[in-house]
Amino acid sequence: MASSTNTNPVPKLYRSVIEDVINDVREVFLDEGVDEQVLMELKTLWENKLMQSKAVDGFHSEEQQLLLQVQQQQQQQQQQQQHHHHHHHTQPQPQQTVQQQSQPQQVLIPASQQAPQQQVIVPDSKLIPHMNASGMSAAATAATLALPAGVTPVQQILTNSGQILQVVRTANGAQYIIQPQQPVVLQQQVIPQMQPGGVQAPVIQQVLAPIPGGLSQQTGVIIQPQQILFTGNKTQVIPTTVAAPTTAQAQIPAAGQQQPQQQQAQPQAPLVLQVDGAGDTSSEEEEDEEEDYDDDEEEDKEKDGGEDGQVEEEPLNSEDDVSDEEGQELFDTENVVVCQYDKIHRSKNKWKFHLKDGIMNLNGRDYVFSKAIGDAEW
């Protein structure tokens, strides 16, 4: 990863900027009465995000860089002995008993990056093999779900009943909460992030609803930014943004009605919410209620395609895209150069650029320059 022959100036530059900023704001933090701990947390968050972006080869210090190289060597030796190591992409041992993770895990959720508030549907069938009675590890989530790039570490929260809630934060601040499955009473802990005061975070909940028959039913639920109030046996979902899909609104009241039926003996209400549309092996009651909301569900509309009004939309949609094809690059990053100009010159259609003090992100990697000279024809 780190180029040893060419001294890449970027990590050192970033290191120095981070140090300068942290040191300069320390006084501001103290003036505002904010603890030094928070300042350190800022620094850690900052560095972690940099590391995760893989745009730089940055590490905390050169010492740790050497440490990491030693660790990698040790890991390679141990690789055959133990089939797990600290690497991101492998599946470590089940971590249900680990309350705190020492190293970040990258969790993958199959969601598009374009719409940060897009609904992510977790199909039940994929989750079943990864969910056993003892719970689900973070890596199992990684196998089934795929997050957009820039996901911050998964945090595990211990619930009242001892279950591990996994909280994943994405780059845009959205938080996903993944609950493991257990064939026992599922108690809804008041998740710290969920406050009636107003936390908007898409919530992914795999909720287990114990059916009187003894079987456990999984549902994957993604709820768009809404406030979910846990009040006794009822869960009320209050949409706080316009972007909340109607499906979620439609399904949640429906599921909320079913909950009291299934939770007679439970003091707290587990969520049994199904917002992933029709097509799964749910009970008939749910299907009937889904059909009632078919007209409101955009997804079903698109799937059917033959309803009145749908035919008119398709030709219209196809004419929307007039712009150039933007998916040319393999990478999602748009290559950007942010800099200052000394002189911009044009002669007929020949342009000359004299730029300085720039930061470039090309093909996902960061570069810097003090001077850049370029030519282009328009």
Partner 1 sequence: MAYQLYRNTTLGNSLQESLDELIQSQQITPQLALQVLLQFDKAINLALAQRVRNRVNFRGSLNTYRFCDNVWTFVLNDVEFREVTELVKVDKVKIVACDGKNTGSNTAE
Phi, psi (degrees; rounded to nearest 5) at 130 = -90, -5
Among 123, 162, 173, 279, binds partner 1 (CB under 8 A): 173
Q: Chain centroid to CA 376: how far?
A: 39
Those residues whose C-beta lies under 8 Å from the C-beta of residue 30, and which sit 6 or more positions away, are 36
Minimum separation from the CB atom of position 37 to partner 1 (A): 9
Rounded alpha-carbon distances, angstroms, from residue 4 to 7, 44, 57, 69, 359: 7, 25, 11, 12, 22
Instruction: Check binding of 61 to partner 1 (CB under 8 A).
Output: no
Rounded alpha-carbon distances, angstroms, from residue 320 to 130, 153, 313, 323, 332: 41, 38, 11, 9, 22
Stretch of 52-60, 102-110, 219-227, 242-250 lying at the interface with partner 1 (CB under 8 A): 52-60
The answer to whether 225 and 244 are in contact (CB under 8 A) is: yes
Minimum separation from the CB atom of position 68 to partner 1 (A): 20
Among 127, 141, 147, 169, binds partner 1 (CB under 8 A): 169
Q: Chain centroid to CA 351: how far?
A: 42
Stretch of 203-211, 232-240, 297-305, 366-374 lying at the interface with partner 1 (CB under 8 A): 366-374
Q: Which is nearer to partner 1, 29 or 268 (CB)?
A: 29
Binding mask 9-48 for partner 1 (x = CB under 8 A): x---xx-xxx-xx--xx--xx--x-x---x--xx--xx--
Instruction: For tokens 């140090």, name the residue.
Output: 19
| Rounded CA separation 195/200 (Å) | 9
302-331 residues near partner 1, rule: CB under 8 A: 326, 328-329
Instruction: Check binding of 366 to partner 1 (CB under 8 A).
Output: yes
Binding mask 288-307 for partner 1 (x = CB under 8 A): --------------------
Q: Which is nearer to partner 1, 88 or 371 (CB)?
A: 371
Among 6, 80, 264, 281, binds partner 1 (CB under 8 A): 6
Those residues whose C-beta lies under 8 Å from the C-beta of residue 273, and which sit 6 or more positions away, are 205, 207, 219, 221, 223, 235, 237, 251, 252, 255, 256
In the complex, the residues that contact partner 1 under the rule CB under 8 A are 6, 9, 13-14, 16-18, 20-21, 24-25, 28-29, 32, 34, 38, 41-42, 45-46, 49-50, 53, 55-56, 169, 171, 173, 199, 326, 328-329, 334-342, 344, 349, 351, 353, 355-363, 366-378
